[in-house]
Amino acid sequence: NGGAVDAKNLRVKLVLLGDSGVGKSCIVLRFVRGQFDPTSKVTVGASFLSQTIALQDSTTVKFEIWDTAGQERYAALAPLYYRGAAVAVVVYDITSPDSFIKAQYWVKELQKHGNSDIVMALVGNKADLQEKREVPVQDGIDYAEKNGMFFIETSAKTADNVNQLFEEIAKRLP
Ligand code: GTP
Ligand code: MG
């Protein structure tokens, strides 16, 4: 139409949920700083980081990321972080069936108490540990599809699919 380029700048509150040790903080560190910490400490309460990405159509998306603590003692704090969140990223560890069950718990919790239009992603992390895999990729795909979620397997260690995770979320924003 010959008009000005239509640039949009979005700000998105995103919460990460999932069992302790699945790699939530490492995914965030990889996305925000491009680093991996093999000695990552458990998160206490929650931590906050932000990162802006540019999409092809010159939209920018600023993710305001709440990285919650997965240890059971912090479970009661989770609503403080997922309430009002536009996006929830539920993470499990592909080597841990227990963490996959815990992920399903968080999905149900979000369906009951999260924003009605929340965008949800299911992430199977530690995809570099193929030889220790205990959650078949198809189980993740099937569960995500049943629950209207976006699904991806990532490795915070190798960086595989970490940027893609956030790019795909950005594309799915209402
Ligand atoms: P909480 O803060 O307690 O909820 O845990 P978390 O989900 O934030 O886990 P964190 O990111 O601290 O990672 C836990 C452990 O898993 C650390 O030793 C990481 O180095 C390791 N880790 C995280 N992501 C990966 C990955 O993609 N591959 C491998 N091999 N190890 C990973
Ligand atoms: Mg953490």
Read off the pLDDT of residues 52-108 as tens digits, 9 standing for 90 and up. 999 888 889 999 999 999 999 999 999 999 999 999 999 999 999 999 999 999 999
Distance CA 2, CA 45 (A): 50
pLDDT in tens, 116-144: 999 999 999 999 999 999 999 999 999 99
Tell whether ipTM is more than 0.95.
yes
Q: What is the mean pLDDT of the chain?
A: 95
End-to-end, the C-alpha distance of the chain in Å comes to 24
The residue whose CA has the least distance to atom 13 of ligand 1 is 23
- Please report the DSSP string for 33-46 in residue order: HS---TTPPPPSSE
DSSP letters of 107-147?
HHHHHHHS-TT-EEEEEEE-TT-GGG--S-HHHHHHHHHHT
Pocket, ligand 1, Cβ cutoff 6 A: 18, 20-26, 38, 40, 42-43, 69-71, 125-126, 128-129, 155-157
What does the alpha-carbon distance between residue 159 and residue 174 come to, in Å, rounded to a whole number?
27
